[in-house]
Structure 1
């Protein structure tokens, strides 16, 4: 027993010494609520590493991306110690600048693989290299107005498929004389609904090997068909990001489907609607089908030019690879954890007053393990711009079928990227 105690004491002393050895400053580039969330983890980090100063710079989302591209193009010049990166833009960096960021496997990230859902790693890797650690995620759910559903005689528990959702939308139309719609879709401005539904169906712009265009595969065809059915049934309105928020504030939309980060958008833009909102799983394409998807989410990477990589990685581990770090950011800014152990934290089961005392995080995080993998590739924005136009044209009736529309989209994406259309 004494030998065990001595060896344990020795280990604690070694760990303490290692913590004391880390010093200097770690600079982080991030944006908005994400930057504030990272700041909220600094106190717990400094308890472990008191000699490291952490400086979070809120540069704005687009500015972080643009300065990152410029820094990598300049060989890592003027880059921070930790770089915030959106998942769907990550592969632009790995493809264009493979030496700009540290392979985190060399720091121990390979031992953390199973601590996160597989879909979160997909876009953070190139070959066997792991260039970033998963941060927040965007599990998709349906946010809904309890009062409007109730007035229209709609029970959210009865909505299990998109056909059920359309039937509920017709009840909402009838009750509110078409002045309230079931949801608002950014048709013509974005293709986020297509991406959410396609991902749910195990389909995306590209295959997971990033070798072929798959946007015209059956799962994507089903997704586009569903959006057309929603429009044909006249149960959805059209609006861009600002228009969607306006409809939420005005009570003109009974539901809003987004990644779970939209929780904060509703809560902060419509504080007067406290207690009127709830959450349920996104409808499935068919009875018994998948009711999970992902939209959005970010990661943290360490530029190879960082002079304080050990301290930077220690920060990543504390903020992202511990339940304490992830839940702190959930409480602080509503950033949805990717770490699977965080889903078991007591806070996740806590009733949320704004959401009618529903334990919404338990519902939301319970879908993480069901989200199909998807690969944005370095050509994400090229494909997205094509799909925005094709989706809008299909809704207008410029294509006879969803398959015809997506065959055209596949050809255009192939032309823009040089990737073949999958057979």
Structure 2
């Protein structure tokens, strides 16, 4: 019996010691010990993160941030592998595109920290509803909102002027269709570029502005929705009128931007950076107007792209990781830095009253393009991605290709919905 009690006391003591060690690990920076956080990100996000870390260290000298610049798809490969292995090899902080957040949380419900439990709800009012819907699961934040992609029509003023077209008079897609015909006749330029058989960004923007998407809020397949049919039929009108330039992927879009073979590029606000970097000689020839509505007075707001920050539950430094990300995501000056230097459009609404947003942009002839995008944010509907988004995207692109090859729109979208059902076992909304 004595040996049993000695063993029990030893076991309890060990548990207490282990708990104390765990507590010390998570709060080590408060005791003056050095903590190094690791973050995974890609492209321009890396530079923004590094600069923010320097600012953060001024008040938190014991917390360092090591940023690993990993390709976007490589991040997802490593993240998925690590989550499947129970968190092995994962960083403290990871950048995740908004269309993947719900899928990750659904697939790995214990894989990420619940940020609402850490207190992030107090910042909720500073972000637009659509961004909150993308970063929250079951009413709880699992990601801190970062950049967004409010959409617009980047257009060549010189081509519009040569054709006698005024951007401010374009209110609907039908208006733009007629304007596109005039522009092509006068200048030879197409209305817009699209990799017709490999991507569907214009269709996605149209769906979003109409308040629908591949799936509805309950996760049902929604490609047979009359609004989805309306969007695809509108896109077909442009193709029938030979106003869409068929380009080869991203490089094809950029080439069309540079050589002036398209009059507009419908994209997210982030495309500004590509224009000023790749088409330097066109300074002063650009403007921006909102996506045309489907009827006069209809919604002209949509989103394309955007990402947010998540904290894997396997982190050994949850408090420090949260503290840094809260600083990064909710500090106005940091978000302005990320936009001004790296073109990352902020979701943080407190940034919109700054001079950067209220003043004109020289490259765009002094137009207040950032104010236009900022005003749009509150009107952007939520797109519901689910963890089957990649499958739906694949089948939607096939449907678009079928339509461009002559298939009836309703039939093409119905067949796409059936294929998604077969691949995902999800229900289809019937209309």
With the length of structure 1 as denominator, give the TM-score of the two structures. Answer: 0.92
Aligned to 2:245: 237
Aligned to 1:271: 280
Q: Distance in 2 between matches of 1:151 and 1:357?
A: 21
Aligned to 1:122: 133
**Of 371, 375, 379, the match for 2:384:** 375
Q: Distance in 1 between matches of 2:120 and 2:337?
A: 21
**Of 26, 30, 42, the match for 2:37:** 26
Task: Output the aligned Cα RMSD.
Answer: 1.7
| Structure 1 contact 79–306 (Cα < 8 Å) conserved | yes
| Aligned 1:218-237 pairs, distance under 5 A | 218-237=226-245
Deviation of 1:91 (Å): 2.3
Determine whether 1:412 maps to 2:423: no
Aligned to 2:50: 39
Deviation of 1:111 (Å): 1.8
How many residues in Structure 1 have an aligned counterpart in Structure 2?
402
| Aligned 1:351-366 pairs, distance under 5 A | 351-366=360-375
- Tell which structure's C-alpha radius of gyration is larger: 2
Q: Distance in 2 between matches of 1:123 and 1:368?
A: 14
1:42-89 per-position Cα deviation (integer Å, ceiling 9, x unaligned): 232123322211121111111111111111111111111101001112
Q: Distance in 2 between matches of 1:220 and 1:188?
A: 18
Deviation of 1:139 (Å): 0.6
Deviation of 1:21 (Å): 6.2
Q: Distance in 2 between matches of 1:67 and 1:194?
A: 31
SS at match of 1:107: coil
Deviation of 1:235 (Å): 1.8
Aligned to 2:5: none
Structure 1's consecutive aligned runs of 4 or more residues displaced over 3 angstroms after TM superposition are 18-23
Q: Distance in 2 between matches of 1:20 and 1:196?
A: 50
| Aligned 1:368-407 pairs, distance under 5 A | 368-399=377-408, 402-407=409-414
Q: Distance in 1 between matches of 2:235 and 2:165?
A: 21
Q: Distance in 2 between matches of 1:348 and 1:248?
A: 24
Deviation of 1:161 (Å): 0.6
Q: Which runs of 5+ in 1 are unaligned?
A: 1-17
Aligned to 1:422: 429
SS at match of 1:298: strand
Deviation of 1:22 (Å): 8.3
Determine whether 1:131 maps to 2:142: yes
Aligned to 2:190: 181
Q: Distance in 2 between matches of 1:19 and 1:395?
A: 61
Determine whether 1:261 maps to 2:251: no
SS at match of 2:116: helix
Deviation of 1:201 (Å): 0.3
| Aligned 1:198-217 pairs, distance under 5 A | 198-210=207-219, 212-217=220-225
Q: Which runs of 5+ in 2 are unaligned?
A: 1-28
| Structure 1 contact 170–235 (Cα < 8 Å) conserved | yes
Determine whether 1:89 maps to 2:100: yes
| Structure 1 contact 19–49 (Cα < 8 Å) conserved | no
Determine whether 1:298 maps to 2:293: no
Deviation of 1:19 (Å): 7.2
Aligned to 1:249: 258
Deviation of 1:185 (Å): 1.6
| Structure 1 contact 23–311 (Cα < 8 Å) conserved | no
Q: Distance in 2 between matches of 1:281 and 1:20?
A: 52
SS at match of 2:154: strand
